[in-house]
Amino acid sequence: MSRTPTETRPSRIAPLAKLPVFFGLSGRRVILAGGSEAAAWKAELLAAAGAKVEVYAEHFCDELNELAADVTQGQITLNHRPWSIDIFPHAALAICATENDAEAWAFRCAAQSAGIPCNVVDRPAFCDFNFGGIVNRSPLIIGISTDGAAPVFGQAIRAKLEAILPKGFSRWADAARAWRPSVQALGLSFQGRRRFWERFTEQALARPDEMPHDSLRDVLVDQSRNEASAPETGHVMLVGAGPGDPELLTLKALRALQSADIVLYDDLVSRDVLDFARREAKTMLVGKTGHGPSCKQEDINRLMVAFALQGKRVVRLKSGDPMIFGRASEEIDACRAAGVSIEVIPGITTAQGVASRLTRSLTHRKTARRLQFMTGHDHSGQLPDDIDWNAIADPKATTVVYMPGKTLATLSDAVLRHGLPPDIPALAVFNATRPDERVIEATIATLPDELTKAAIKGPVIVIFGNAVGHPQEVVLTGDQSQTATEISGLEGVPVRPRVRKGNS
């Protein structure tokens, strides 16, 4: 059964508790009622954004008095009287910091009548907007909000971001703002401008604490000019999406998805992974499913090459690793024949994902000194007729079988006939590393019947060999523990034996 490549839409945006926005306040009036320390914090924040802050209260705390005298950006004016309705017209925002519910409600009503967004400190029900946590690398600014659900959690996330974001990013963001007119004046295509900013970003990430001088801008501009005068050339990236869990994506795969113009993806790629693609990218399903509707490989090759020849950045997104049963060689050959540049970004193959989730090593120095991968079917859907059965039946090997859904019984019979002991441990994993993952454990002799009984749908991988059996209890004697300590070279650091029982 064949299908044609189909354009797909990105996932819809999930519901938002609040709309995150960045409000321009430079030179604009903001009304602030209250003279407490809470009001002082809001005044400092608003003035830092360039606002003209008008504070109304009968008494002001020391911090507010000092702040009004010391503020270096924006303006803070202290009005020693209560707020009144006549102050609201033409204000951009209105904030109230009071402990009196009646006053807070009256303030909200007055702001609403004037059509001004209102925030009442510590009273979410009275607020049109909330203040979140801030990571300040201005003009790079990150806002964090839990919509009041877990402030401590939000503060912890802010602390994490503060720790990992270099202070120097502020200088790079300033440089980007200063250089943008020069880049716009070049008259580059959208792709050319994007490549300029990608190179800029690479430099910022590689050297965050250095000052970005104009000489760097000139180098990047010259590169962009030279590219603009040359014919637009595209590029293909074969990208491994991993077995399904989006956290198993490599950083390089993530960068490729976020720079793509076109993403051609297979059925087995999880939607969570696809959501990392740039939202402006066109995504197309070019699915190939075992024993189901599939796009012809020739059509996929033609489509991939055609987009690249149009100057597009094409990501060919494949489940697992593209170089393991992913027809990568055919796609690489097609690109080379057309003169299209191509690179491969490896991914976590399904066997590795399974081993990590089950905490079962695929090799063991005593029982599994060789790891071998094989496909469960050929182009006709049957077991390949050139399998080295003596190698597959080796009890000292771990064998991984990809796509064996229809041929496992035949494979099991064959390896048993060639001498593999029937009690060799075997397991089948459906939808590996995904939320709906299912694992069936048996022996190589009984696994086909167990799969028939389970009748589970989804992509499956089978692994058999002594290394993947249930972990056995391990007890180290005192002498062995001492030897481990000596080998480690860390005298005085105890090495405790691990005891593993049953299925992990």
- Catalytic annotation, residues: 266, 288
Q: Name, in order, each residue with C-beta under 8 angstroms of 27's C-beta and a sequence gap of 6 or more.
A: 50, 51, 52
Q: Contacts by 187-195 with C-beta closer than 8 Å and gap 24+?
A: 187/228, 188/224, 188/228, 189/228, 189/232, 191/232, 191/261, 191/311, 191/313, 192/224, 192/227, 192/228, 193/224, 194/259, 195/224, 195/227
115 DSSP assignment:
T
The 3-class SS string of 184-249 reads HHCCCCHHHHHHHHHHHHHHHHHCCCCCCCHHHHHHHHHHHHHHHHCCCCCEEEEEECECCCHHHC
For CA atoms 407, 408, 414, 417, the dihedral sign is: negative
Pairing of β 397-402 and β 460-464: antiparallel
Contact yes or no for 246/434 (Cβ under 8 A): no
What is the rounded distance in angstroms from the CA atom of residue 155 to the CA atom of residue 260? 34
Rounded to 5 degrees, what are φ and ψ at 245?
Answer: -65, 120
Tokens of 240: 């491994």
What is the rounded distance in angstroms from the CA atom of residue 479 to the CA atom of residue 442? 36
